Amino acid sequence: MEKEYFVQYSDQSIINSFSFPKDVFASISIGMTDITNDLIISLVQKMFGLPVFFVLNSMIFGYEKETLISNNIPFFEFSSDGAVIKVDSTEKLHLISKLAEELVSNGLSVFIFHGNDLSEQDLIPPKHWMDKPLVFENLDVNKLETFVDIEEVGFTIFTKSSLFDSPEKIPNYIPNDYLLNIDSSDI
C-alpha cells in the first residue's frame, strides 16, 4: 500500500517560526506520517547531493553519540546532547539518516542544511528551540541554499533553489512509494 503525502505553501506561522529572510527563501511544507531513513536518504540525494549538515537537537537515548564515535564519524557537540554532523559520504548518510529517523519518530526535530562554505559552528541552534523565531546566530544566510526541518508529521523546506521552490516541483523529489494527495495540496 502506498503512503500518502501532501504539499503546500507553508502557513505564515511556520514561516515566522524561523528567522530567514521571507523575501529570499520560499517555504514549502510536506505532510506525511511515515518519515523513514530511506525517505531522508532519497531527499538528500535527489535534492542536494553531498555534503549536507544534520543538526540533532538532542541525542536522547544515549546510543546516538556512541554510534557516531564507534563509526568514526566526527561531530560538533554544541550541548550536552546536541550535535552538528557534516555528512559527506553515502555511508555517513545512511547511518545519520537512521539516527534522524529514530529521533523524528520520537517527536524531535532534525534539521538538514545545504549551502556553500557552511561549517558546523555556523549551524549551532539557540539553547531553547522552543523560542520563536528560531535564530541561528552564527549562520550567514547568504551561504545557505536550503534548510529542511524534519518532524514526525512531515517536513518544511526553506529554499533559494528554483529547483524545488514551489509545491508543483516537490513531487519530483519524493520516492515513488509515496502517493501525492492532490486534493490536499497546493497544486
Q: 150 with 111: CB under 8 angstroms?
A: yes
Q: Within 13 Å, how many C-alpha atoms sit on residue 84's CB side?
A: 18
The amino acid occupying position 181 is N
Query: What is the pTM (predicted TM-score) of this model?
Result: 0.94
128: Cβ contacts below 8 Å, ≥ 6 apart: none
One digit per residue, pLDDT tens: the chain, 187 residues?
578 999 999 999 999 999 888 889 999 999 998 899 999 999 999 999 899 999 998 877 678 889 999 999 999 998 877 899 999 999 999 999 999 999 999 988 899 999 999 999 999 887 766 667 888 889 999 999 999 999 999 999 999 999 999 999 999 999 988 999 999 999 8
Q: What does the domain layout of the chain look like in residue ranges? A: 3-184
Cell numbers of 76, please? 560538533
Which cell is 63 given? 546510543
Bridge partner residues of 119 (DSSP): none
Contact 147, 21 (CB under 8 A): no
**Do the Cβ atoms of 102 and 111 come closer than 8 Å?**
no
Calpha distance 48→135 (Å, rounded): 23
Q: How far apart are the first and last CA of the chain?
A: 23
Which cell numbers in the block locate residue 45? 540525494
